[in-house]
Structure 1
Amino acid sequence: MRPLRYSINITIDACCDHEAGIAPDEESMRYWTAEMERADALLFGRVTYEMMESAWRKPATGTWPDWMGSGDVAFAESIDRAKKYVVSSTLSGVDWNAELVRGDLAQEVQRLKQEPGEGLWVGGVTLPRALADLGLIDEYEFLVQPVIAGHGPTLLAGLRESVRLELIDRHGFRSGAVALRYRPTRASA
């Protein structure tokens, strides 16, 4: 069974607004590109899918915008070619190497996890909270930015029950950011 990993940038006060942290630098872009490459497929809710598509889909011209540095291009190419699943009851169709996921969320995500491969990656805010409530997330990865936002949406706000975690990896960045990877601890029988 391939694991489901939730990865997101957050501030020290757990704000997960994508504009609240520090702009990505070359080092963090390399890190996120490697994370994208580790995933067999990406799982998005509608809002995250549309946001990622507007930022990282290759333009129809076939040429990346001039503002993109080499790290941005590598990340964009990685996410552009990745298989994507989009959980949405409002979209009538998707493209960008994606397919819609409809029906019972728990059953559909379990089905995706049962497929062979190295892992699924989920980002965003609303969908990961629902998946955490269902106990479907196998790994949590937070890239903690050295910023206190003081406002905005916070990580997993509204979660029905707490999730105990065990630290399995950490990686520091020159910027002061820290990537922390956790696995949920399973209750003893």
Structure 2
Amino acid sequence: MRPLRYSINVTLDGCCHHEAGLPPDEESMRYWTAQVQCADALLFGRVTYEMMRSAWRKPATGTWPDWMDERRLAFAEAVDGASKHVVSSTLSGVDWRAELVRGEVGPAVQQLKQEPGRGLWVGGVRLPRALADAGLIDEYEFLVHPVLAGYGPTLLAGLRERLQLELVDRREFGSGVVCLRYRPTRGED
């Protein structure tokens, strides 16, 4: 069974808006690139899929835009080349190496997890909350930025029940970002 990891940037006050943290530095971009490369597939909701596609899909010209420096290029190529699953009830189709996931999210994602491989990676805000409520996330990974945003969507807002997590890894980056990885304790005390 493939594990499902939820990974996201978050500020100290829990904001997970993609523009609320620090600008990505070389170390964090290398880290995110490695994480994407280790996943068998990326799992997105509609909003995250559309946002990621607009930023990280290679243009039809075959040339990346001028703003894409070296540290972003490796990440862009990893995301662009990755297999993707998009959970949406409103999209009629997807492209960019993606498959559309329809129906009830819990059984659909459980089926994806049953396939052989190293793991699935999910990002975003709303879809991860639904997956957490369904008990489908095997690992939570938060890159905590030393920033107080004071606005924006907060991490897993609206969870039905409290989740007890166990810290399994901690890494500090030179920028002050701290990567924290947790696993659910699954009701263990």
Return the TM-score normalized by structure 1.
0.98
Aligned residues: 189
Matched, 1:80 2:75: no
Structure 2 runs not aligned, ≥5 long: none
> Matches of residues 44-83 of structure 1 in structure 2 within 5 Å?
44-83=44-83
The 2-side partners of 1:171 and 1:187 are apart by: 26
Which residue of 2 is the match for residue 175 of structure 1?
A: 175
The 1-side partners of 2:67 and 2:18 are apart by: 19
> Matches of residues 30-179 of structure 1 in structure 2 within 5 Å?
30-179=30-179
Cα-Cα RMSD: 0.9
What is the Cα deviation at residue 188 of structure 1? 4.0
Structure 1 runs not aligned, ≥5 long: none
The 2-side partners of 1:145 and 1:188 are apart by: 30
The 1-side partners of 2:92 and 2:123 are apart by: 21
Runs (4 or more) in structure 1 with deviation over 3 Å come to none
The 1-side partners of 2:28 and 2:137 are apart by: 23
The 1-side partners of 2:46 and 2:186 are apart by: 30
The 2-side partners of 1:87 and 1:152 are apart by: 23
What amino acid is the match of 1:16? C
2:29 counterpart SS class? helix
The 2-side partners of 1:127 and 1:19 are apart by: 19
Which residue of 1 is the match for residue 14 of structure 2?
A: 14
The 2-side partners of 1:10 and 1:70 are apart by: 24
